A and B are shown apart, each in its own frame.
Chain A
């Protein structure tokens, strides 16, 4: 559905499948709706900001009530991501990335331009925020996070401090830099990690292919919009032709044809919107998500590095101890022994952390793959159904026209 000018749009996310949970626990996930409306605070123009109504419906007992609504700004969503990634990224969780900031798009809306492209922008962002939240709450571990609960429930949230560096794109850029740094290290992983090696390669390939596909789908959206425009122009031209035609029956048939083409133009427009929201945005989301998955692997890499560094440090400390023993300096010896104990503890800790993060990453990736397959299947079916609907309408229109054409005498 598209927002009508002036009234807050209403959308419902498809409720998540109930009863399915990898970690066994939640029976239902909360249903979330997001509306968008513009609100001025302290002036118009650039000081205006868009507030989104986030409505939650749930039967989970950890929430204070069954239904509640709060107002959130875009920066609040980014703030949520900041908090979640700070806490969970290092443990190997895939934290869903928020939609990207767009200064240009938002400026047009703030300035109050009433054109279809700014309405489209708002709708696009609103839908993306809804999908973002839905992904967050369908993650069993993230749902437990008090920040998430606060985001959904609390009346007034403190303004997120600095979200500039942490917009989706900004954060991903940071992650990518980390990736580069990590891959530059000559890391030799051991046997056990073949699964990880293969997986990261798969993710890389998939991201590349998805980007290409996304480009093509965007091309489809544009061409379909063009087709819609050209059909409208053609319809007008046929109407003109019909009006100048001197045979009555043919003249009427031509004006009917013009009407059919007008309706077809409408169909194309709707289909272009479907192309975009159902297909193109899905791909855009997953390209970002795959980036987040890569980030996950990097965290694991970091953990491994930390462990290795600790091992090396331990080795050095042992060498120091050996030297001291040989040089016979008993006073420094105790210190050396203390340091060895310290580093032995660290090695054990980091090794355990690495194993834990590896397990988490593995579980997360498996879960991600399942989600992805489900998501794509659902969206592909939805998209094909939209195409089907469109074609069925087309048949109706042409079948209505056929007797008109036959009536030409």
Chain B
């Protein structure tokens, strides 16, 4: 797990803490510092490992995005002179809350990545994974230099061409035919749902922010007044301030449980699609090797070589199909479990927050009525 993460200027340093009983590790417990780029390195080395072609590779965690809070901080700095002390304090509060939310999210997502690896029978034995967990110095990460980045770019281009390949390949296996159709459809729907969830959460946060501002403005009016009017306004301002906290938590919990879930599975579905693509490629290779063998037989040249090639292609394809089937089936189960857990947690949290709001509002209404 990742019990702690520090943000130092631009980079986030994650403290990765491991407890293990595996004999391959030297010690039962480890604690190392890793940066986001280290996670990416680990992910990429796993992707590039031929052995794992038949497995769904856990998607890489996205880069920590502090753009939102950073923008706010900038605005805060610029507007400092033109704001009242209260306004400034409020904006600072907002900023801290947003920062915390982003932080929580990024820690969660990096943690989940490592947990996926460690719970998979094959990945947990991966040498690089062990290094990642054990090595107590800074990993001299081979950051993708320009050439490699270029390579990556091409890889992606080829991949999208292969989407066509996947859909075009004649599927003999019923299971894979169904999976293919399902994944293609689900993939676009879940991407859409993620985007819409993000918009919804954003609006919710805006409402919470407004509560904050309204609270401040009410206090401003109250400050210049005395008498009963002042008391009513102050009470109202207090309510808004507290409500704002609740609404904010409602919005961020919904984001953490629902939006993040959707985001994560969008990526995971993509990883499943990648598996299909690799298998489709292997199938194409196999079909090509068949054609090559036929050609060689016709020509009477290099037949043995062609036969060997064909045998290897078939082997690879079969291996991918077998492990692919296993992976996709367990993926289904995993997805359902994750959705269930998150939906339950989200619902329980929303109920909790709403109940808080209710008691807060009831209390305030009582006070106002009795005054």
A376 CB–B CB distance under 8 Å: yes
| A391–B335 alpha-carbon span in the complex (Å) | 31
Size class of B's contact patch?
Answer: 35 or more
Most A Cβ at <10 Å: residue of B196, B235, B239 = B196
Residue picked from B203, B214, B220, B229, most chain A C-beta under 10 Å? B203
How far apart sit A230 and B204, CA to CA, in the bound complex (Å)?
10
A46: Cβ under 8 A from any B Cβ: no
Q: Which residue of A lies closest to B362 (CB)?
A: A388
Distance, CA A205 to CA B221, complexed state (A): 8
Residues in A119-177 with C-beta less than 8 Å from chain B: none
Instruction: Tell me whether B197 is interfacial, beta carbon within 8 Å.
Output: yes
CB neighbours (8 Å) of B340 from chain A are: 250, 253, 405-406, 408-409
Binary flags per residue of B189-226, CB closer than 8 Å to A gives 1, else 0? 11011001101101110110011011001101100110
Which residue of B193, B347, B354, B358 is within 8 Å of A241 (Cβ)? B193
Let me know if A398 and B347 touch, CB within 8 A: yes
User: Does A395 contact B351, Cβ atoms closer than 8 Å?
Assistant: yes
What separation, in Å, do the CA atoms of A253 and B335 have in the docked complex?
Answer: 14
Contact with A along B353-371 (1 / 0, CB 8 A): 0110110011011001101
- B230 CB to closest chain A CB (Å) equals 9
B350 to chain A, nearest CB (A): 5
Bound: A213/B232 CA distance, A: 15
A241 to B210, CA, bound (A): 32
- A238 to B335 Cα, complex, angstroms: 16
Determine if B182 is an interface residue (Cβ-Cβ < 8 Å). yes
Q: Which B residues are in CB contact (< 8 Å) with A257?
A: 343
Q: How near does chain B come to A192, taking the closest CB pair, in angstroms?
A: 22
Q: Which of B182, B211, B236, B361 contacts A220 (CB 8 A)?
A: B211
Residue contact A241 to B190, C-beta cutoff 8 Å: yes
> Are A209 and B224 in contact, with the CB atoms below 8 A?
yes
- Asked if B207 contacts A224 (CB within 8 A), the reply is yes
Interface residue from B213, B225, B227, B339 paired with A219 (Cβ < 8 Å): B213
Residues of B with C-beta under 8 A to A209: 217, 220-221, 224
Chain A residues 373 to 409 lying within 8 A of chain B, measured CB to CB, are: 373, 376-377, 380-381, 384-385, 387-388, 391-392, 394-395, 398-399, 401-402, 405-406, 408-409
Pair A223/B210 contact, Cβ less than 8 Å: yes
Answer whether residue A16 sits at the interface, using C-beta atoms and an 8 A cutoff: no
A148 to chain B, nearest CB (A): 28
Chain A: CB-nearest residue to B214? A216
- Given the interface contacts A230-B203, A247-B332, does A206 sit within 8 Å of B185 by beta carbon? no
Contact yes or no, B233 A227, CB < 8 A: no
- Say whether B228 faces chain A, with CB atoms less than 8 Å apart: yes
Closest chain A residue to B217, Cβ basis: A213
Q: Is the Cβ of A227 less than 8 Å from the Cβ of B224?
A: no
Interface centre among A237, A246, A388, A392, by most chain B C-beta atoms within 10 angstroms, is A237
- Report the minimum CB–CB distance from B225 to chain A (whole Å): 7
| B361 and A387 contact, CB distance less than 8 A | yes
B228 smallest CB distance to A (angstroms): 5
Complex-state Cα separation, A206 to B217, whole angstroms: 11
Q: Give, as a whole number of angstroms, the nearest-CB distance from A349 to chain B.
A: 36
Complex: how many Å from CA A373 to CA B371?
12
Decide if B344 is an interface residue (CB 8 Å cutoff). yes
Question: Could you give, for residues 225-256 of chain B, a 1 whenever the CB lies within 8 Å of some chain A CB and a 0 otherwise?
Answer: 10111001101100100010000000000000
Judged by DSSP, the binding face of B is helix
Residues of A within 8 A of B239 (CB): 384
Taking the nearest CB of chain A, how far is it from the CB of B271, in angstroms?
A: 18
Task: Say which residue of A202, A212, A223 sits within 8 Å of B224 (CB atoms).
Answer: A202
Chain A: interface residue count, which band? 35 or more
Hey, which chain B residues are within 8 Å of A394, CB to CB?
350, 354
Known: A394-B354, A405-B340. A373 touches B228 (CB 8 A): yes
Is B368 touching A380 in the complex (CB atoms < 8 A)? yes
CB <8 Å contact, A240 and B192: yes
Q: Mark B114-145, 1 if CB is under 8 A from A, else 0.
A: 00000000000000000000000000000000
Determine if A234 and B361 form an interchain contact, defined as CB atoms under 8 angstroms apart: no
Q: Most chain-B Cβ atoms within 10 A of its Cβ — which of A206, A244, A372?
A: A244
Task: Give the residue of B182, B193, B235, B354 whose beta carbon is less than 8 angstroms from that of A391.
Answer: B354
- Residue A369 is within 8 A (CB to CB) of chain B in the complex: yes
User: A377 contacts which chain B residues (CB < 8 A)?
Assistant: 228, 232, 368, 371
B150 contacts chain A at the CB level, 8 A cutoff:
no
Q: A206-B225, A391-B357 are in contact. Are A212 and B362 (CB under 8 A)?
A: no
Of the residues B190, B204, B339, contact of A408 by C-beta under 8 Å: B339
- Is B161 engaged at the interface, CB distance under 8 Å to the other chain? no
- Closest approach, in angstroms, between the C-beta of B182 and any C-beta of chain A? 6
Can you list 20 A-B pairs with a CB-CB distance of less than 8 A? A202-B225, A213-B214, A216-B210, A223-B203, A227-B204, A230-B200, A234-B197, A240-B189, A241-B186, A241-B193, A244-B185, A244-B186, A245-B186, A250-B340, A384-B364, A387-B361, A388-B361, A394-B350, A405-B340, A409-B336
CB within 8 Å of A: which residues of B? 182, 185-186, 189-190, 192-193, 196-197, 199-200, 202-204, 206-207, 210-211, 213-214, 217-218, 220-221, 224-225, 227-229, 232-233, 235-236, 239, 243, 332, 335-336, 339-340, 343-344, 347-348, 350-351, 354-355, 357-358, 361-362, 364-365, 368-369, 371
